[in-house]
Structure 1
């Protein structure tokens, strides 16, 4: 296909309703991550959004997976929902003070904004510049939920600072656009109908496999996560998407002149 990589997983792994769907009935919850890592090569860490873990917990997670397994932790909601990206210095120091040991096994750090935070160019550029100046060793992706972010000015700032725009599929719940702002491409599937508890059909997975192959053929590294965790739907969809991509990998590269996604100029 190309030298670009696909990373496909789910938005977390600690779900009780996955027992007997994905996890064996008698498997201890402490062993869920290691079991998950036998099937997938990456996961999001959603729990860090609500409460930062201890450094020992971070080390334990790393010790429970192969060295090539990758984590995408979500930035604390204190920074995104309470501080609203303003005065980010101290929240970032606390976050990376905890997650620094994971640096060698980390994919993009996910910055998830609420619907109430609109685009403010001055605030956003200060935030992005700080990430570039102080945390250049990390990759970042931003998921927006207010329409004011869906503009050329917003996308241009992401491109300037190599921040991946998160393509967020959620039916009609969150803004959606197929825009590429960095080498890393980050995609989240929240469910085609109601959030988190609906399953994508095979036709949809096949369609998105075509898009992802185009992006890979153009040299992008893709991070694809399913957040429709109810009833194990995310696991089923992730495995389905992977099968379609494996099938497409045996085909010739897609002509990059026919891309159907937007690249800011």
Structure 2
């Protein structure tokens, strides 16, 4: 049976207050609350800056043992071509404390990272230096990389996995013969408020569901990760729950919990 991890691209969104998080929940408790409803999330903040060790340790302690993270790799590694070795060493050392709960690392390249000999060398050098037992998920944002013969030189579908990206202007590629798939439902950057569903993405969702249906019949496929970004439809917790429901995967109804919290608050107000 194919294992499916479904979650959101991040958890620290103030727009979720009152819609996913209880209205008065402090940001320091967001992750532990999120982990009551989902068993997986993506960490995007590590792309911009290295968190201090106390922050990483808090992530570890805020979630149960079976919770999993994918960690977006620091942009000093992907976007700069100088001192890759040193940047990788520092990054992996900082993440080491979280390793027991890390599913893999997301290696995301910018749109201007086109398929050239120099860029290919940069990519393979990074992969060589990422000495971790965890999977490396490689995401391209330029279509010149999507040549199966080229991809087969560094994608093995288990340790190094191609990301299937649903983002404006990018072709969503599903390579054959991968045992692990990583699907990122990103959307575009037009939406700026993230507290409700604001657009129809049924065609894409149906395509992903058909893929999952077909993989259930393929014994070589072991695991699928599905990440919803707020930009995809406007409110990724609802996306993730609806997708779990459609797959027949058990889920917790966060709306019911919010209703209970509101009733509790109203009851307390009666005594003021």
TM-score, scaled to structure 2: 0.79
Query: Structure 1 residue 200: deviation in Å?
Result: 4.4
Within 2, Cα distance between the matches of 1:17 and 1:97?
33
1:117-156 deviation per Cα after TM superposition (whole angstroms, max 9, x unaligned): 122333333332333xx22x11110110112211123320
Contact 1:22 1:232 survives alignment (8 Å): no
Aligned-partner SS, 1:159:
coil
Which stretches of structure 1, 4 residues or more, deviate above 3 A after TM superposition? 120-123, 192-204, 229-232
- Gaps in structure 2 of 5+ consecutive residues: 250-272
Within 2, Cα distance between the matches of 1:75 and 1:99?
10
- Structure 2 counterpart of 1:241, from 225, 240, 243: 243
- Gaps in structure 1 of 5+ consecutive residues: 248-265
Query: How many pairs are equivalent?
Result: 239
Aligned-partner SS, 2:70:
strand
Q: Which residue of 1 aligns with 2:121?
A: 122
Superposition pairs for residues 24-173 of structure 1, below 5 Å?
24-83=22-81, 87-119=83-115, 120=117, 121-131=120-130, 134-135=131-132, 137-160=133-156, 162-170=159-167, 172-173=168-169
Within 1, Cα distance between the matches of 2:146 and 2:207?
23
Please tell me whether residue 9 in structure 1 is matched to residue 13 in structure 2: no
Query: Structure 1 residue 59: deviation in Å?
Result: 0.8
1:58-89 deviation per Cα after TM superposition (whole angstroms, max 9, x unaligned): 11011111111011110011111222xx6421
Larger radius of gyration: 2
1:157-190 deviation per Cα after TM superposition (whole angstroms, max 9, x unaligned): 23348311110102x3333222256422111001
Contact 1:109 1:139 survives alignment (8 Å): yes
Aligned-partner SS, 2:79:
helix
Contact 2:162 2:181 survives alignment (8 Å): yes
Aligned-partner SS, 2:163:
strand
Tell me: CA distance 1:87–1:192, structure 2 relative to 1, closer, same or farther (3 Å). closer
Within 2, Cα distance between the matches of 1:81 and 1:200?
33
Contact 2:185 2:232 survives alignment (8 Å): no
Q: Which residue of 1 aligns with 2:210?
A: 210
Deviates more, 1:96-105 or 1:152-161: 152-161
Aligned-partner SS, 1:20:
coil
Query: Structure 1 residue 245: deviation in Å?
Result: 1.1
